[in-house]
Structure 1
């Protein structure tokens, strides 16, 4: 395909794009209205018409599209996609050869050179997540590249963009063999049930792999554990396998009960000896405080934004207050695993929320561990927003 349009960068943003910043933002482009067709290729130039890069239009919540190369002579074609995906697979060779971990991220969008889509690997099956109609135009390039890679039984996809005003829910099967669900994968020797054919969520968030292992290996033994916003109970499973005295999993979604039971059973854990509660986490905190319940280890991993009947939560505005509620039901010398995937603030600001929460409660604390994205979730230093995960293990002094 040939470059179809030219985008001119405003002078104050030129340095940013010269350094390799990949996201096309509305404010940075003087003629952004030139972009009209999803998937349309563009050439990026400075005010003096000097070349800055090439990319494609793909509107998503982050921006208008992505720069794919700063090389004037590079062509965006099948070979380009194949090389990027092959290089990504080479970088994950250790994971492909692992017997203990059979689920990981194969391709992490702009971190691996093409913003707008990701590829996850689940024990022989690829799952492609598309985040705009623009990048979806190049789906055949991606599927052909995966076919040439081999090492798979089937390919699934999820379209995470609006099409005609609504998200398209579908089975997601693309080609190869259909998986039998649940598909059982391993993470550091622990079993997870995966459903590639059920809506947006598949059963586990792969970016928390190192955090779960640390909880099992170091923090869980002999402890009472509260896992809030627990989803399918992955943290609880690792805590139970780490010989926690008891786990309590709390999530508002009705399906969290059956999904969490399934994960416990897959790992030989008696779910009846654990507490699995379907309840609004915000209400549960108030209940636990009223009943004077205390936990040795509290896992706090809320979504960036959540709304229930009585509460609206925004991580950037409300995390400090939510953390204060977690502190209140944490035992003295207990540990809070504070986590967020909100990309609008960095670790420094996140630690500021932590400091403010303890200060307002007139309590001391120490930071035991810090985590960001694991190696398979590759990021680029020019795009700090891409390194969205922030996890801090906090000991209540």
Structure 2
């Protein structure tokens, strides 16, 4: 590891003519097709120097010959060679920007590091009460895992740091899945956290990704303002974020739907944990699209519906297919709303921009025979920032729609 960080034998990656413009504008991705193949590629995860076709310095980056993104750029100052201290400083800066959230008395779950947004590609770190959950999706971050772990432990002194690097992204980087304790204690099977004053029990060693989605923190709080006295349907509910917020704000009843058995178990525990009236709650383990048809066929109606599906468009190539899926899902949801009903609908597909999403909703409303107003746009919270030079980091968007 010392030889990797010393950079004495740093490789140089040359870009083809006309391929350096985006990199000079601080976009962090160099695709494999932009690289001159000299037959002597560095090791995957190695720090490299990137130059243009005239050998002018562009940036330092992390190389991976197996990935479509051949180099992930991390530093544009030629005098700041990315060594161990560079990684530590970047981690410190990321954590420092989250201090307002870390000082909150009613929320103790925060995203501490958000990959490219924090100049740390392939690294995601979430804080859940006194434990940290780490996801490493790129070979460059994998190379310095021990540095990442040590610095996080030094800065935050958690009870334990747990790795959940089992995403498909690792496969594209030539990395095996990795799941387990990096340091400290093993997290309990059920760890209690708080978000906006609501208590949750989460399992950060199982289930989806890190066990809880803190990117909807602000959106859950805002939509709940409309829940008082309403019949609420929460689809793709997972551990119950929107459902619990609706109850906390006086919903008359809540129906929660998810296909995951673990989600249903977690949700029920969380309803009980917060002391909400279980007689007003129905948890349905089912495919959401099929269950929406069941509700429609039975004549059931709701005053407010939340649709928070998984990513339908993993890339731009899948956008057309995803748009059809989003349209059909939202059409089915709108059919269950009468005049004055509210639909809070989301997309976590970075390939789908908010303008396209609005068009999809317009088509869904037309097919459902409904007229809708866009009341509010939703986005990701402050601990999921978007770098100006990396708009791809803006993945979460949502719309609050009213049937008129």
**Counterpart of 1:323?**
330
**Counterpart of 2:317?**
none
User: How many equivalent residue pairs?
Assistant: 389
Contact 2:16-2:53 at 8 Å conserved across structures: yes
Name the CA shift for 1:163/1:199 in 2 (closer, same or farther; >3 Å): farther
Q: Which of 205, 211, 216 pairs up with 2:219?
A: 211
Q: Which of 261, 264, 267 pairs up with 1:257?
A: 264
Spell out, residue by residue over 1:287-311, the C-alpha distance to the aligned partner (whole angstroms, 9 max, x if none): 11111211111111111149xxxxx
Name the CA shift for 1:368/1:24 in 2 (closer, same or farther; >3 Å): same
- 1:260 and 1:385 mapped to 2: Cα distance? 31
- 2:271 and 2:10 mapped to 1: Cα distance? 53
Spell out, residue by residue over 1:78-107, the C-alpha distance to the aligned partner (whole angstroms, 9 max, x if none): 111111111111111111111100001011
Single out whichever of 134-143 and 183-192 deviates more from structure 2: 134-143
Instruction: Give the alignment of 1:1-397 within 5 angstroms.
Output: 1=5, 2=7, 4-31=10-37, 35=41, 37-58=43-64, 63-160=69-166, 161-162=170-171, 168=177, 170=179, 172-198=180-206, 200-216=208-224, 218-305=225-312, 315-397=322-404
Single out whichever of 37-46 and 382-391 deviates more from structure 2: 37-46
Deviation at 1:151, TM superposition (A): 4.0
Deviation at 1:389, TM superposition (A): 0.3
Query: The residue matched to 2:362 in structure 1 has which SS?
Result: helix
Spell out, residue by residue over 1:254-281, the C-alpha distance to the aligned partner (whole angstroms, 9 max, x if none): 2222111011111111334311001111
Name the CA shift for 1:271/1:201 in 2 (closer, same or farther; >3 Å): farther
Single out whichever of 35-44 and 130-139 deviates more from structure 2: 35-44
- 2:148 and 2:254 mapped to 1: Cα distance? 41
- 1:59 and 1:152 mapped to 2: Cα distance? 35
Contact 2:126-2:134 at 8 Å conserved across structures: yes
Spell out, residue by residue over 1:152-179, the C-alpha distance to the aligned partner (whole angstroms, 9 max, x if none): 2221111132399895364x21112333
Contact 1:116-1:135 at 8 Å conserved across structures: yes
Deviation at 1:209, TM superposition (A): 0.3
- 1:228 and 1:32 mapped to 2: Cα distance? 51
TM-score, scaled relative to structure 2 = 0.90
Deviation at 1:108, TM superposition (A): 0.8
Deviation at 1:72, TM superposition (A): 0.9
Name the CA shift for 1:188/1:61 in 2 (closer, same or farther; >3 Å): farther
TM-score, scaled relative to structure 1 = 0.91
Two-structure CA RMSD over aligned residues (Å): 2.3
Contact 1:316-1:342 at 8 Å conserved across structures: no
- 1:325 and 1:150 mapped to 2: Cα distance? 45
Spell out, residue by residue over 1:27-78, the C-alpha distance to the aligned partner (whole angstroms, 9 max, x if none): 3333397545221121111122211111112479773341010111112111
Name the CA shift for 1:91/1:297 in 2 (closer, same or farther; >3 Å): same
Deviation at 1:202, TM superposition (A): 4.1
- 1:164 and 1:202 mapped to 2: Cα distance? 20
- 2:124 and 2:206 mapped to 1: Cα distance? 18
Name the CA shift for 1:331/1:28 in 2 (closer, same or farther; >3 Å): farther
Contact 2:233-2:255 at 8 Å conserved across structures: yes
- 2:26 and 2:402 mapped to 1: Cα distance? 39
Structure 1: stretches of 5+ with no match in the other structure: 307-312
Name the CA shift for 1:201/1:38 in 2 (closer, same or farther; >3 Å): same
Contact 1:23-1:63 at 8 Å conserved across structures: yes
- 2:172 and 2:357 mapped to 1: Cα distance? 34
Query: The residue matched to 1:162 in structure 2 has which SS?
Result: helix
Contact 2:67-2:172 at 8 Å conserved across structures: no
Deviation at 1:372, TM superposition (A): 1.2
Query: The residue matched to 1:322 in structure 2 has which SS?
Result: helix
Single out whichever of 297-306 and 99-108 deviates more from structure 2: 297-306
- 1:188 and 1:390 mapped to 2: Cα distance? 20
